[in-house]
Amino acid sequence: MPVNSFDNYPMSWKPSMDKTNKPIYQALANQLKQDIINGVLLPGTKLPPQRELADYLDVNLSTISKAFKVCVLNGLLSTSVGSGTFVSYDALSNAYLLEDSKPKHLIEMGATLPDNASYEPLLLQLKSMLQETDYEKWFGYGRTGESLWQKDAAVQLIRRGGFETNVDHIVFANGGQNAMAATLASLCRPGDRIGADHHTYPGLKTVASMLSLQVVPIKSVNNEMSPDAVEYACKNENIKGIYIIPDYHNPTTSRMSIENRRKIAEVAKKCNLFIIEDATYHLHNENPLPAVASFAPDHVIHIASLSKSIAPGLRLAYVAVPMRYKEIISRALYNINISVSPLLAELTARLIVSNQFEDLIERHREQAILRNQVVNRYLADYTCLGAETGIFRWLLLPGKITGAEFEKVAAQQGIQVYAAERFVVGNSCPERAVRVAVCAPETIEELEKGLIILKRLLSQLL
């Protein structure tokens, strides 16, 4: 069809491109990226059907398909069966939340850091270890066959978080992000699709982008991932697995009910999906609910990261893996890490077996409760979701300002918070909200200073 027949034809995107730039699909993908960056294409824009765009540009349909696929895998576009192709709402957002250095001249209320006033048990245990005569063994390579008692400690901690497993299923990783990357690298291939909540942990998105995987938003009902929507996505979106945060969901702070955990587990068994269960926040609850892995142990990779419950500097996560996945995930972890630090693995295991970890967790919980009471006092007039033991809150914004706009304004006033746009998946519309990390400020006085500024900014929106 001649190009000029489209002169007066309504299309959301009419790219102009030089076909001498080869390959054409890559040139088109680059043009799409630039038009998104320059604001020609706004987040949420539905692109023309591929065949229509091919006719408009007078190129093969396969050229359009390849260009769109490149942009989907780069997180610029999202596709949905029966709905079309859209510019992702998070196309321009920065999903890398922990910056190389602490933001200068900003009160840190963005990164989800536990308080730093609760580490005395770790310090005392570490001093004791380094006084032992054979201390040098902590500085070599760790061998998994030599760490059976450390796996017993892992089982103890995972049990405390709501899942009964045994040492045969345990592998160690250098943190939850590391475990997630190894799991996805071993169980997925480029182009595969993974389901997640409409707003999710940005680390999932960065890993998926690195591995050329697409994260598909799964519909929620009453702020919980819908089991029916998971089954629909399995049948119609061809997802291979799902990623969930059942307890104190990051960033929305919601908690999955026992009934929903059971139903999602049943869908995983019915559709043969794997589930990555991020248990980072399980221990923030005094009485954790049963983990999803309890209902589908052969389908769930249960990741018990210690970064938020004990200390992020440990760089350690215990992973309970179904036997059918254990070898391939273990190989992936070896290829990424070789091993975890013997020093940190031993330190953590001693902390758990001696039950000192309970004291440390309780100290963290006390600090979180104290800080959340301060948040409630300053932000009582606003909807600020989250439990008293959580280390972050989900602040719904009044007026019409977007999360991204509020994040920018807050930074100009000296506060670092993170907008919903950083967490949104695909073509899901982001909430007008920001995540506020209540334990990130170094002191309660600094927290109060930040809250005073936030309250003033919020009052100007009413």
User: What are the pLDDT digits (tens) for 58-103?
Assistant: 888 988 888 888 888 877 887 777 778 888 877 776 656 555 556 6
Tokens at residue 29, please?
A: 């993908």
How confident is the model over 13-20, as a mean pLDDT? 80
Architecture of domain 3-87: Orthogonal Bundle (1.10)
Whether residue 291 has pLDDT greater than 70: yes
CA 410 to chain centre: 23
- Rounded Cα distance between 431 and 423, Å, is 10
Q: Which residues contact 20 (CB under 8 A, 6 or more apart)?
A: none
- The residue behind tokens 């919903």 is 420
pLDDT of residue 319: 97
141-354 under CATH 3.40.50.2300, yes or no: no
Whether residue 115 has pLDDT greater than 90: no
pLDDT of residue 153: 94
DSSP class per residue in 301-357: EEEEE-TTTT-GGG--EEEE--HHHHHHHHHHHHHHHSS--HHHHHHHHHHHHTTHH
pLDDT of residue 1: 45
Whether residue 370 has pLDDT greater than 70: yes
Question: Quick one: 107-113+358-459 is in which CATH superfamily?
Answer: Aspartate Aminotransferase, domain 1 (3.90.1150.10)
* Average predicted confidence (pLDDT) for the chain: 89
**In terms of pLDDT, which residue wins out, 20 or 9?**
20
Domain boundaries, the chain: 3-87, 107-113+358-459, 141-354
- Rounded Cα distance between 443 and 446, Å, is 5
For the whole model, what pTM was predicted? 0.86
Q: What are 141-198's pLDDT values in tens digits?
A: 766 655 788 999 999 999 999 999 999 999 999 999 999 999 999 999 998 999 999 9
**In terms of pLDDT, which residue wins out, 283 or 381?**
381
Q: Is 281 exposed, middle or buried (0-12, 13-18, 19+ CB in 10 A)?
A: buried
Cβ atoms 245, 281 nearer than 8 A: yes
Q: Which of 111, 61, 3 is nearest to 391 (CA)?
A: 111
